[in-house]
Structure 1
Amino acid sequence: MKSTIAILSASMASSALAQPKVARSQQCNVAPSAATNANIKPISAPSATTADACLEACLSNPSCKSFLFGLPANADVPVCELFSVPAAQVPNQGSELYIFDKACSDSSVPSTEPTHDDPRGEINSKIAARSLICNVAPSGPADTSIKPIATPSVKAADKCQDACDAKDGCQSFLFGLPADASAPLCKLFKVAPAKVPVRDDELFVFAKGCPAAQVPTPAPTHDEPRGEEPSEQDT
């Protein structure tokens, strides 16, 4: 009997490990879908004229995990509400209000002011694509006040991105294997990748929202200090 229980426990643990990670399962720019009787209230309602400004307010609030944004039909100014729960737990608030998890990337958050015809605003996909910095040498000003907010121990760039996803306030990360190091370095920052100071080593900067195709998954080597991108592995 004990051996049967042990086998079942091991099987359940193995199954749990095999489940997909929820860190990447973000809700971005969709109608809230939690039960309307859920007792979930906003923790703050800052003034924001665009969804990306509402995101900035969420990023600056350590308790914020998601935010609601839109221009209701009976309103003259947009609504921005911050919540201390993930987007999946926020109840429906009305047809013109949309929910975003804190970790939503710039490419999924509207940057224009909403109208009654377009109550969430529009995503400027070309600007978002250009502004997304992925796997390049940092080039920001040499500002000594910009320090990492965490330096988790990971073996690959995608794991460093996972750590950034899970860290409140993280907007970008550095990853690589310096020539004089035996293990890779992962540094998380609360500033955009364009602001991460220039360096002269083998560390490369990534925006938090970089797509999987641009984030290396294998462990780096001194010949390939950032690891190979998935697209390079297929060639």
Structure 2
Amino acid sequence: MHCSFSTTVIAAFSLLSVVCASPIASRQVCGAAPVGTVAQTPLLQPTGITTASACATQCKGNPACLSFLFGLVNGVDKCILYSVPASSLPPQTNLVAYDIACTSIPSVVPTAANPGGLRTRQAQGTHANPLNAAPAGAPAPIGTPKVNDLAACLASCKGNPSCIAYTFKSGVCKLFN
């Protein structure tokens, strides 16, 4: 069988068009401040849930659940289940978003100092992936932008080339290097 150059090129472009027609995989949101722009209606708000891991179990037990928010709000643990991806959830103070497919969900009980119940011993933050915690040794912040929520604080950190960590407590955002 003899193949011409033009037949080979046509076959290659056909294969490329099939690959390009497949859906683009969206990035998982796992333990980050929600950044959606449209209000979403919760599926369910189970009570008595004290860790993000337990909230994930509730979500996995509900066939309609695709994501959840978890955190400590006004001294009360909140677990809120949603039927949309975590990337669609709008910012909410002290709540952290997770997609149901996340594989590493912490089982840390949230506190006033760690309202999202995130792991307290995390790797060093980077500018591309800032750490949501004050660095060890209680250093002075490099900035305290006037923002209203955790998502805006994270955005401020990502907008500052020196920032590798941030905190948002009691309405105050602090950036660290």
TM range (shorter): 0.5 to 0.7
RMSD: 2.5
SS of match in other structure, 1:111: coil
> Structure 1 14/121 Cα, relative in aligned 2: closer, same or farther at 3 Å?
closer
Residue correspondences, number? 109
Higher relative contact order (CA 8 A, sep 6+): 2
Structure 1: stretches of 5+ with no match in the other structure: 1-5, 126-235
TM-score by length of 1: 0.42
Aligned to 1:114, which of 110, 113, 116?
110
Residue 97 of structure 2 is matched in structure 1 by: 99
TM-score by length of 2: 0.55
- The answer (yes or no) to whether the contact 2:31–2:118 under 8 Å persists in 1 is no
Aligned equivalents of 1:78 and 1:49: distance in 2? 6
SS of match in other structure, 1:44: coil
Matched, 1:65 2:66: yes
How do 1:1-235 residues align onto structure 2 when only pairs under 5 Å count? 10=14, 12-17=17-22, 21-22=25-26, 25-35=27-37, 38-47=38-47, 48-72=49-73, 75-94=74-93, 96-105=94-103, 107=104, 109-123=105-119
Q: Between the two proteins, what is the percent identity of the paired residues? A: 39
- The answer (yes or no) to whether the contact 1:42–1:84 under 8 Å persists in 2 is yes
Residue 206 of structure 1 is matched in structure 2 by: none
Aligned equivalents of 1:14 and 1:54: distance in 2? 36
Aligned equivalents of 1:51 and 1:78: distance in 2? 10
> Structure 1 117/39 Cα, relative in aligned 2: closer, same or farther at 3 Å?
closer
Aligned equivalents of 2:111 and 2:99: distance in 1? 22
